[in-house]
Amino acid sequence: MDKFIIQGQKTLSGKVEVKGSKNAAGPILVSCLLTEKECEIDNLPLIEDIFNVLEVLKSMGAEVENVSERKVKIRAEKLDLEKMDFEKISKTRISVLFFGALIARAKHFKISPPGGDKIGLRPIHVHIKALEKLGAKIERDGNFYKVDCDNLKGAEVVLDEFSVTATENTMLAAVLAEGKTIIKGAACEPHVQDLAKMLKSMGAKIEGAGTNTIEIEGVKNLKGASHSIIFDYIEAGTFIAIGAGVPGSIEVKNINTGDLDLFLAKLEEIGVNFEKKENSIIVSYSPNLKSAKVQALPHPGFPTDLLPIIAPLLARAEGKSLIHDPLYENRFNYVQQLRKMGADIEIVDPHRAFIYGPKNLFGLAIESWDIRAGASLIVAGLMAEGKTTIENIFQIDRGYEKIEERLQKLGANIKRI
């Protein structure tokens, strides 16, 4: 398998453009199943998770035409769900969204469990409970789920947690349900709002996206639509952290800074030097960092996907920092890799860790276990003295498009071998 070789502490300069959001692109591609008409989706990120979703759509009979490098046309006029590619479904967590879309469109089908990062227990009982409220019957049958839904009806759905994908799944099913659906405890993330925008352009009646209560009035059918995916604020946060931890100054473009309010506020608190522009952020090397308490929370809180990204910066901060992820109990698999590089980190329990600094990081051979862990190790490798080798970079490719090429253009010494 490919690996990254990084020579750390090289001075960076120039501009880097953020690509389309993985977390928005997945559900929006899946939403094309809700209509027999043609949909056009632009600003797709060229990453493994999105390639897998497109292959699943093709496998069940959807016509996918590549209009340009980042734009596709999808027409799901005739579907054959018995030909669904279960292997591709098992490679990405996005696949869980096929439940909601296919319940609305196909009524009866069999599907394999979704895949994704190994960052802790990610059961789909919240999804199942919500979809059963709308009239679905979902049973585990060995290595598959058997789904039946003769009569999809709107209902009040109270989610057990602020789950992004459970919110999206319920939205996908509810837009074609008979009557009104109210989703309480809905997630507010920008990609949830982007899905709502896509569905509304298809003719869905949705109110409240971006709040914790979403109201949907079901319609009988949806039309085709054209939509451009929002830019990836998690990728933006990753490049900002790199700019703070490595000598030099870079400009990160294609940012809606409002999506990163609490992340940027926390960076300001720890002493990161950055300047907001209209659609970009200029960030400079920040050698004098201060410790902080950082807790991941649902949007508009500090994004859970950016908690691993900030950890290498806190390793170099003066004092004792606390990182806390109440959402996932196995997200700290990257911590052991940072320890090997010289970070002083104490795991208190599956959700909390203390980081003591400042400590210098040193390059060595480490391994990526999930998308954001891999990004954290890239940040650490660029900051570290000497050579860092990152194994298992397939995980990074699932969420970051050709990240080594984009870093090379900024002056980083990083190679894929």
316 and 391 housed in the same domain:
yes
In order of 229, 296, 304, the CA distances from 299 in angstroms are 19, 9, 9
Look at strands 4-7 and 387-391 and give their pairing: antiparallel
Three-class SS of the chain:
CCCEEEECCCCEEEEEECCECHHHHHHHHHHHHHCCCEEEEECCCCCHHHHHHHHHHHHCCCEEEEEECCEEEEECCCCCHHHCCHHHHCCCHHHHHHHHHHHHHCCEEEECCCCCCCCCCCCCHHHHHHHHHCCCEEEEECCEEEEECCCCECCEEECCCCCHHHHHHHHHHHCCCECEEEEECCCCCHHHHHHHHHHHHCCCEEECECECEEEEECCCCCCCCEEECCECHHHHHHHHHHHHHCCEEEEEECCCHHHHHHHHHHHHHHCCEEEECCCEEEEECCCCCECCEEEECCCCCECHHHHHHHHHHHHCCEEEEEEECCCCCCCCHHHHHHHHCCCEEEEEECCEEEEEECCCCECCEEECCCHHHHHHHHHHHHHCECEEEEECCHHHHCCCCCHHHHHHHHCCEEEEC
pLDDT of residue 410: 98
Among 228, 263, 279, the domain-final residue is 228
258 and 200 housed in the same domain:
no
Range of the domain at 58: 22-228
116 and 264 housed in the same domain:
no
Among 228, 260, 278, the domain-final residue is 228
pLDDT of residue 147: 95
183 and 296 housed in the same domain:
no
224 and 272 housed in the same domain:
no
Among 200, 228, 256, the domain-final residue is 228
Domain count, the chain: 2
Name the residue with tokens 């050579």.
387
406 and 371 housed in the same domain:
yes
262 and 200 housed in the same domain:
no
**CATH code for the domain in which residue 175 is found:** 3.65.10.10
> Cα separation of 264 and 258, whole Å?
9
195 and 300 housed in the same domain:
no
Cβ–Cβ < 8 Å for 165, 172 = no
Name 123's Cβ contacts closer than 8 Å, sequence gap at least 6: none
pLDDT of residue 1: 80
101 and 184 housed in the same domain:
yes
253 and 365 housed in the same domain:
yes
Look at strands 387-391 and 365-367 and give their pairing: parallel
278 and 217 housed in the same domain:
no
pLDDT of residue 254: 98
> Cα separation of 253 and 79, whole Å?
39
Name the residue with tokens 């970009």.
280
11 and 31 housed in the same domain:
no
| Tens-binned pLDDT, residue by residue, of the chain (417 aa) | 899 999 999 999 999 999 999 999 999 999 999 999 999 999 999 999 999 999 999 999 999 999 999 999 999 999 999 999 998 998 888 889 999 999 999 889 999 888 644 444 446 889 999 999 999 999 988 888 999 998 999 999 999 989 999 999 999 999 999 999 999 999 999 999 999 999 999 999 999 999 999 999 999 999 999 999 999 999 999 999 999 999 999 999 999 999 999 999 999 999 999 999 999 999 999 999 999 999 999 999 999 999 999 999 999 999 999 999 988 777 788 999 999 999 999 999 999 999 999 999 999 999 988 899 999 999 999 999 999 999 999 989 989 999 999 999 999 999 999
